[in-house]
A = this chain, B = another copy of it.
């Protein structure tokens, strides 16, 4: 199972590992569009090696994205799942996703991107979407959250926050939070 393809030579294996590690660091810090040269430098390897081993950016992303963000997103879903009040649950889901988008450019890229890649990622996104729809539904049932709100709206709100978060070097976290609280309030039913 480790040696499906004939098995790599020792230096190759070493490099693959080094590159993955470097990619985790670099992508974590700068998002999935960080220059590959930077990853190469961080791995102490030449750009060519990355292309040779991973086929290019997409291959590299596929190979690390799971480890990069899956846990974070799944963590949010399960931790939010434990919240009792349906409205709190819905709102804290959004808050946490929004903050994740601000704090982790890579996760944001994943949430934003048209999801080019891996099976697991698609599953992950569906997991999150399904959870979001569930949270929304429960919250609407209490009458506190507007019932003209659709899962697509939620999607859109996340997308928009992602776009804003990408420009975050120009905005402080507090301002970011303050402003999404406005939006959040707007999702509640009218008096």
Give the interface of A toward B (CB within 8 A). 153, 156-157, 159-160, 163-164, 166-167, 171, 175, 178-179, 181-187, 190-191
Q: What are the 5 A-B residue pairs with the smallest beta carbon separation, nearest first? A: A186-B186, A185-B186, A191-B191, A182-B186, A183-B183
Q: How many copies does the complex hold?
A: 2
Give the distance in Å from the alpha carbon of A93 to the alpha carbon of B179 in the complex: 18
Give the distance in Å from the alpha carbon of A175 to the alpha carbon of B159 in the complex: 12
Instruction: Verify A157–B186 contact, CB threshold 8 A.
Output: no
30 contacts between A and B (CB under 8 A): A153-B178, A153-B179, A153-B182, A156-B171, A156-B175, A156-B178, A156-B179, A157-B179, A157-B182, A159-B171, A160-B164, A160-B179, A163-B163, A163-B164, A163-B166, A163-B167, A164-B164, A181-B186, A182-B183, A182-B186, A182-B187, A183-B183, A183-B186, A184-B186, A185-B185, A185-B186, A185-B190, A186-B186, A186-B187, A191-B191
Query: Which residues of chain B are within 8 angstroms of A186 by Cβ–Cβ distance?
Result: 181-187
Query: Which residues of chain B are within 8 angstroms of A175 by Cβ–Cβ distance?
Result: 156
Query: Which residues of chain B are within 8 angstroms of A190 by Cβ–Cβ distance?
Result: 185
Give the distance in Å from the alpha carbon of A186 to the alpha carbon of B182 in the complex: 5
Give the distance in Å from the alpha carbon of A37 to the alpha carbon of B160 in the complex: 32
Query: Which residues of chain B are within 8 angstroms of A153 by Cβ–Cβ distance?
Result: 178-179, 182
Which residue from chain B places its CB closest to the CB of A149 in the assembled complex?
B182
Query: Which residues of chain B are within 8 angstroms of A163 by Cβ–Cβ distance?
Result: 163-164, 166-167
Query: Which residues of chain B are within 8 angstroms of A187 by Cβ–Cβ distance?
Result: 182, 186
Most buried by B among A160, A163, A166, A167: A160
